[in-house]
């Protein structure tokens, strides 16, 4: 059973996309799961009515499984992160996240302003002992199984100790959310050898050798698309948030570039279909902010209803697997 | 007119691939260009004889345009960089590069051990005033025109001042080798805004504003595959060597992954052909080591004869355009 607070005002296509996502979710989820739609109550009600008018079969279901939680402030995509804490304390983000500290909700999901979500999540939920910032855990599709890459942008200047924390956070994520029993952790560098890399990476390599993780050594950029290196499959790739963010955005853009070239070369949309689908980020349903005493799932601002629905599912998996508790245990082990 | 010293012993397929490359090159190049085949003379002669036996029409051409320069030591791919300077002073790398300081050659091209080539090039040719290490300039295929990305691995922990140097080196490279009259330089970061990025990038952004380059601000990972951002086309992307190396290897691996998935999805090899060709790194012919008082072109260890031939052409363009001299002027302007 999980109660998911969904930011109805967050994302480029809000409130339509989050509310459509909630309607998709309840059709797939068991009746024990509840969704809290957080935002301007009147706007949410109006949008919900409009969507239910087109799907009257969902009326009863929606009435029993949705709760509208009013939050008069709206955070814009262009707002600074701090606005979520100080400027707009009654935003859908602040209100939606606060439901967890009040014991009324188990997870928060948003496609809104990422910086604001990170600030509000950290401020309201707090971090586990020993962490200074949360990390963003993302999933990269590969030729084999998907791989967790972190940090993807929350921490730009990283110490070796922080890279080791990412390894711990990523291991729990891979185990709890992706179902990898003993996640293989690679440290992203520019050569396999322990002495290759920048200063933080070289130090982190030594620390990881004694970290009681399934550390498989350095991995390189080329090992991510294949999902493996000469030491076997990779489950987690650890890097600083600058490198991770650059790679993530590069990957997101390179696939459409390939597909565009394929179409120009005469490949049909049908032929492309299965490949596009297997590389589709939307399947992986948002990136959790790892290290919080609670659950906060970041969805892409451009998310479709399907993508936000998968964000809701990721939130449920995080709750049901007790990911946050496992992270606390991993950090203190 | 250019005299190119080619490392006949360098690369996974040496000496066959470099010698085949030299034979390809002389068929396309005007008679004013000479190629020096550097390595163990007996090995080169034997390999050359074997290849000429299969192409007797090239016998006279080869005799007049090749010079074999004996270098008894061979640097292995697994050797440490310093071996090129101290351990094996008569290697094809050391001998081939030294030809420039002796006034006997204009450029050096190798598919051998990159670290050794960098060390030997820096030690023998020396760097222009104000540089502490050379930078590796690579060319990324994009949906539009190719983009120069640097540094691609020579400098892992970079200061803001070094990032500005890369911008200068990359501008000259884009102008002289790729023919871009006023290269647009982007600084790779995790957001468009000047205050986004790690500490070195934020400081470099400010320095670049006053560097008298065509600086178009920060660019993101997603702007590389498209070759442009909302401020127009991009010619040069500046980043530290850690990020650049990770991206380069990621890009090199992601294309085969896509193509593999396409083939599995039933797309024919013929349909893929044109796309594979337009993304082919081999066309761009090696990465120059920028900042040297001379010319040294790095080819991938796995290079085919075609790729090494393009490395030879890149060397000739660097010589004929006076790239090294333009770099000196750019650094002191």
- Decide if A73 touches B, using CB distance below 8 A: no
- Interchain CB distance below 8 Å, B224 and A197: no
- Decide if B192 touches A, using CB distance below 8 A: no
- Decide if B225 touches A, using CB distance below 8 A: yes
Q: What pLDDT was estimated at residue B332?
A: 86
Query: ω into residue A73 within 30 of 0, thus cis?
Result: no
What pTM, to 2 d.p., does this model score? Answer: 0.93
A151 in Cβ contact with A158 (< 8 Å): yes
Fold held by A136-277: Isopropylmalate Dehydrogenase (3.40.718)
Nearest to A246 among B142, B190, B257 (CB): B190
Residue from B222, B82, B246 nearest B152 by CA: B246
Per-residue pLDDT of chain A (333 residues; tens, 9 = 90+): 899 999 999 999 999 999 999 999 999 998 899 999 999 999 999 999 999 999 999 998 899 999 999 999 999 888 888 888 888 999 999 999 999 999 999 999 999 999 999 999 999 999 999 898 899 999 999 988 999 999 999 999 999 999 999 999 999 999 999 999 999 999 999 999 999 999 999 999 999 999 999 999 999 999 999 999 999 999 999 999 999 999 999 999 998 888 888 888 888 888 888 777 777 766 777 899 999 999 999 999 889 999 999 999 999 999 999 999 999 999 987
Nearest to A247 among B221, B226, B274 (CB): B221
Q: Which two tokens stand for residue A318?
A: 């995080």
Assembly ipTM: 0.91
How many Cβ pairs within 8 Å bridge chains A and B? 146
Architecture of domain A3-133+291-332: 3-Layer(aba) Sandwich (3.40)
**Run means of pLDDT, 10 residues per run, chain B, 333 residues:** 96 96 95 96 97 93 94 91 87 97 98 94 96 93 92 93 97 95 97 93 98 97 95 97 96 88 84 78 81 96 93 96 96 84
The CA-atom distances, in angstroms, between B281 and each of A288, B299, B310 are: 36, 10, 10
Architecture of domain B3-132+291-332: 3-Layer(aba) Sandwich (3.40)
Q: CA-to-CA distance for B307 and A208, rounded, in angstroms?
A: 39
The CATH 3.40.718.10 domain(s) of chain B lie at: 3-132+291-332, 136-277
- Decide if A271 touches B, using CB distance below 8 A: yes
Please spell the DSSP secondary structure of B220-235, one letter per residue: -TTHHHHTEETTEE-S
Nearest to B247 among A142, A201, A250 (CB): A250
Q: Which residues of B touch A188 (CB under 8 A)?
A: 246
- Decide if A201 touches B, using CB distance below 8 A: yes
Q: What pLDDT was estimated at residue B281?
A: 65
Q: Which residues of A touch B242 (CB under 8 A)?
A: 189-190, 197-198, 201, 243
Q: Which residues of A touch B198 (CB under 8 A)?
A: 156-157, 240, 242
Q: How many CB atoms lie within 10 A of CB B198?
A: 21
The CATH 3.40.718.10 domain(s) of chain A lie at: 3-133+291-332, 136-277
Nearest to B247 among A142, A247, A262 (CB): A247
- Interchain CB distance below 8 Å, B250 and A245: no
3-state secondary structure chain A: CCEEEEECCCCCCCCHHHHHHHHHHHHHCCCCCEEEEEECHHHHHHHHHHHHHCCHHHHHHHHHHEEEEECCECCCCCCCHHHHCCCCCCEHHHHHHHHHHCCCCCEEEECCCHHHHHHHHHHHHCECCCCCCCEECEEECCCCCCEEEECCCCCCCCCHHHHHHHHHHHHHHHHHCCCCCCCCEEEECCCCCCCCCCHHHHHHHHHHHCCCCCEEEEECCCHHHHCEECCEECCEEECCHHHHHHHHHHHHHHHHHHHHHHHHCCCCHHHHHHHHHHCCHHHHCCEEEECECCCEEECCCCCCHHHHHHHHHHHHHHHHCCHHHHHHHHHHC
Q: Which residues of B touch A258 (CB under 8 A)?
A: 255, 258, 275
The C-alpha torsion from B271 through A221 and A145 to A21, rounded to 10°, is -90
Q: CA-to-CA distance for B2 and A57, rounded, in angstroms?
A: 78
Residues 132-151 of A with CB under 8 A from B: 142-143
Nearest residue in A to B264, CA atom: A275
């Amino acid at each position: 059973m999980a109660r998911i607070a969904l930011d109805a005002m967050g994302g480029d296509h809000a409130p339509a996309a989050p509310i459509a996502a909630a309607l998709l979710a309840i059709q797939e989820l068991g009746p024990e799961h509840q969704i809290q739609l957080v935002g301007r109550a009147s706007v949410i009600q109006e949008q919900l009515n409009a969507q239910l008018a087109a799907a009257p079969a969902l009326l009863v279901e929606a009435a029993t499984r949705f709760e509208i939680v009013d939050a008069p402030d709206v955070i814009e995509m262009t707002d600074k992160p701090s606005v979520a804490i100080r400027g707009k304390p009654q935003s859908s983000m602040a209100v939606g996240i606060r439901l967890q500290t009040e014991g009324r909700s188990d997870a928060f999901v948003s496609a809104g302003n990422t910086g604001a979500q990170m600030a509000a999540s950290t401020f309201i939920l707090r971090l586990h002992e020993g962490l200074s910032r949360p990390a963003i855990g993302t999933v990269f599709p590969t030729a084999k199984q998907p791989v967790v890459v972190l940090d993807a942008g929350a921490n730009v200047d990283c110490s070796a100790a922080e890279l080791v924390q990412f390894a711990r956070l990523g291991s729990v994520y891979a185990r709890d959310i992706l179902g990898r029993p003993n996640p293989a952790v690679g440290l992203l560098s520019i050569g396999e050898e322990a002495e290759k890399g920048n200063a933080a990476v070289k130090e982190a390599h030594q620390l990881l050798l004694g970290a009681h993780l399934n550390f498989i050594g350095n991995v390189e950029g080329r090992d991510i698309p294949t999902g493996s290196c000469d030491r076997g499959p990779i489950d987690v790739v650890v890097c600083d948030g600058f490198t991770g963010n650059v790679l993530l955005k590069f990957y997101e853009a390179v696939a459409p570039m390939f597909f565009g070239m394929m179409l120009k070369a005469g490949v049909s949309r049908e032929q492309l279909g299965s490949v596009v689908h297997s590389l589709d980020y939307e399947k992986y349903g948002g990136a959790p902010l790892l290290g919080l005493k609670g659950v906060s799932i970041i969805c892409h601002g451009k998310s479709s209803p399907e993508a936000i629905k998968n964000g809701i599912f990721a939130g449920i998996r995080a709750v049901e697997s007790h990911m946050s508790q496992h992270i606390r245990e991993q950090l203190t082990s």
